[in-house]
Amino acid sequence: MKDLNAFSLEGKIALVTGASYGIGFAIADAMAKAGATIVFNDIKQELVDKGIAAYEEAGIKAHGYVCNVCDEDAVNAMVAQIEKEVGVIDILVNNAGIIKRIPMIEMSAADFRQVIDVDLNAPFIVAKAVIPSMIKKGGGKIINICSMMSEFGRETVSAYAAAKGGLKMLTRNIASEYGEYNIQCNGIGPGYIATPQTAPLREVQPDGSRHPFDQFIIAKTPAGRWGEAEDLGGPAVFLASEASNFVNGLILYVDGGIHAYIGKQPS
């Protein structure tokens, strides 16, 4: 690497799934600031419209599409439309996902399948749709949002952990199968991030104390705080840029040090 230009995304087209808000929006925002043209999708037009408005407010011209990433035909049609209207996708971020916090023995098979479908099958479908054009173009970058639950288990998230563990291995397999075509596929494993989805876990209790789960996370994180969505921007830009051309099949955990820490000794 000769200089910091290796981190530039100028001239690149990045598709970030489910990026109307939250982690996906923060990653797309960072990539836009690095020079990328942003394309995103969401499942409803109203969410796409809200996303477009949020990007405009941030000074970003983004291209939004309505698409259910679990529907292979719809994904193929969206990718073809993007290639026609914007250009060939250079960077894919499989960000769209759901979580259902239900004890395993109380969870229906239908709920389990839905989480697997959105969090594992959909990244397979979208990656499968973009890889052929990446091969023709001479390379590309795929980033899967894998979560710490691709390594850890915890009560009430059996489906989510199973899906993210599978996504970790799909990441490594894409890297193995398509690395020879100059396609790098890596994952980001966010720690506990302060987003609307996690807001209930951070609510101040009636007595003014922190939520028990909030206390637990702070105690388990060497950084002593929840992550912010913006904390994922730098790692995502790195994995999307030429600076990471020899990085393939890696899961980069952005977790404030949780993976390295056994926790405080009880007093």
Nearest in space to 143 (alpha carbons), one of 8, 251, 245:
251
Q: Which residues are catalytic?
A: 160
| CA pair distance 127, 120, nearest whole angstrom | 11
What are 180's two structure tokens? 């020879």
Integer CA distances (angstroms), 168 to 112, 164, 174, 211, 235, in order: 18, 6, 10, 30, 17
| CA pair distance 48, 41, nearest whole angstrom | 7
Cβ neighbours of residue 48 under 8 Å, at least 6 residues apart?
20, 40, 41, 42, 64, 65, 66
| CA pair distance 236, 19, nearest whole angstrom | 14
∠ Cα 185 62 10 (to 5°): 55
Q: Is residue 238 within 8 Å of 7, Cβ to Cβ?
A: yes
| CA pair distance 47, 41, nearest whole angstrom | 9
- Burial of 110 by CB count in 10 Å (0-12 exposed, 13-18 middle, 19+ buried)? exposed
